[in-house]
Amino acid sequence: MKNTGDRRRTIYDVAKAAGVSISTASNALNDTGRTNAETRERVRRVAEEIGFRPNALARGLLSKRSHAIGMLTNDTYGRLTLPMAAGVSEVLVDHGVSVFLCATNNDPRLAQLHLEALLDRQVDGIIFTATRLDLTPPVQLSRLPIPVVYVFAEGPADSVTFFPDDEQGARLAVDHLKELGRSRILHITGPRDYLAARIRAQSYLDACGDGAEAMFGDWSEEWGHEAVQSVFARPGAKPDAIFCGSDEIARGVIDALRDLNVEIPTDVAVVGFDNWEVVARQTRPPLTTIDMELKELGHRAGLAILSLSKGEPVPAGITKLPCRLVVRQSCGSPLQSG
């Protein structure tokens, strides 16, 4: 007889069926107060039998913790957001915390609406995420009565923020190329006004020293193509490796190299950035690239907001999570190239 009635079972039903008071039922179920072991077991069995599940609304109303958080994103496309959101949700579901997803489309009115809805719902915290590091939220998040964590987005100075470690990621790519014996490494990346592009480029320049060249453009395949054409058209030594600021750019680079009959990886090795599987797996040859560990970023943000919502201290400032090198075939193996 599992909850066949039309109305949800309440703790009152449990108490009645077990022949105890409501408080005893509550104590038995939550292991609070003093309860006889035998009674406790009976209450629990009855609760199970009639399919009792506590009402999260009533619980939240009393405890002032709703065990829900809001995730505010201004990414419409979802390539970055969904893996992070899945990571957040995955790590929190085991703590009984659910996630409201709010897509703001970067529209301040929509963002404000979502924010108010979240506050009305007494969420325990908010995770703000964007599609780029240096984008501030479309709505004021700084004077909120609940904690806020920023992931892949710029927060105020003293806020808790998680970034992928673009500097380390870029170094990973360059070091990999160097280990394979490449020395003339070129960097083709996105627009200079993207913080991530600047960080990666600087890291590349620091690692490669003299002769290094970073070409800024768009986050597009077209730009990768165009950049390679211009580099191979001009006189002078040609690069033997290209480190790209994104997988899309890498894709354009690979296409252009093929058009020029340049062999990959024999003549030129290519490394991408993003590990956007659907692109990186499909290039010919499959692309060696840098994974930003978006899901892990989500895990960390989720745990951070969880701690903050419990009042536990979390170190403020920017935490950079290491990227991971994913080796496929666009650089060759050390053996091949050696």
Partner DNA sequence: TTTTTCTGCTAAAAGCTTTTATCATGAATC
Partner DNA sequence: GATTCATGATAAAAGCTTTTAGCAGAAAAA
- Residue of the chain from 86, 195, 212, 325 that contacts a second copy (CB under 8 A): 86
CB of 105 to a second copy, least distance (A): 7
Tokens of 260: 């020029």
- Residue of the chain from 36, 76, 140, 336 that contacts DNA (CB under 7 A): 36
Measured between its terminal Cα atoms, the distance across the chain in Å is 71
Interface stretch with DNA, choices 25-33, 110-118, 209-217, 286-294 (CB under 7 A): 25-33
Instruction: Show contacts with a second copy in window 250-279 (CB under 8 A).
Output: 251-252, 255, 277-278
Alpha helices in 180-293 (DSSP H): 195-208, 221-233, 247-259, 277-280
- Residue of the chain from 24, 288, 289, 330 that contacts DNA (CB under 7 A): 24
Tokens of 56: 């999260």
List the one residue out of 115, 150, 129 whose CA is nearest residue 85. Answer: 129
Window 89-128: contact mask with a second copy (x via CB under 8 A): xx--xx-x-xxxxxx-x----x--xx-xxxxxxx------
Report the distance separating Cα 66 and Cα 239, nearest Å.
56
Q: How many CA within 13 A on the CB side of residue 201?
A: 17
Nearer to a second copy, 145 or 209 (CB): 145
Instruction: Show contacts with DNA in window 62-91 (CB under 7 A).
Output: 62-64
Taking CB under 8 A as the rule, does residue 49 contact a second copy?
no
CA distances from 127 to 2, 76, 101, 248 (A): 38, 16, 10, 28
Taking CB under 8 A as the rule, does residue 81 contact a second copy?
yes
Report the distance separating Cα 284 and Cα 255, nearest Å.
9
Taking CB under 7 A as the rule, does residue 27 contact DNA?
yes
Q: Are 247 and 276 in contact (CB under 8 A)?
A: yes
Report the distance separating Cα 215 and Cα 153, nearest Å.
24
- Residue of the chain from 282, 316, 317, 322 that contacts a second copy (CB under 8 A): 282
**DSSP letter at 238?**
P
**DSSP letter at 171?**
H
Per CB under 8 A, residues contacting a second copy are 3, 6, 8, 53-58, 60-61, 66, 68, 71, 75-79, 81-83, 85-86, 89-90, 93-94, 96, 98-103, 105, 110, 113-114, 116-122, 145, 220-222, 248, 251-252, 255, 277-278, 282
Per CB under 7 A, residues contacting DNA are 7-8, 10-12, 20-24, 26-27, 29-30, 32-36, 39, 52-55, 58-59, 61-64
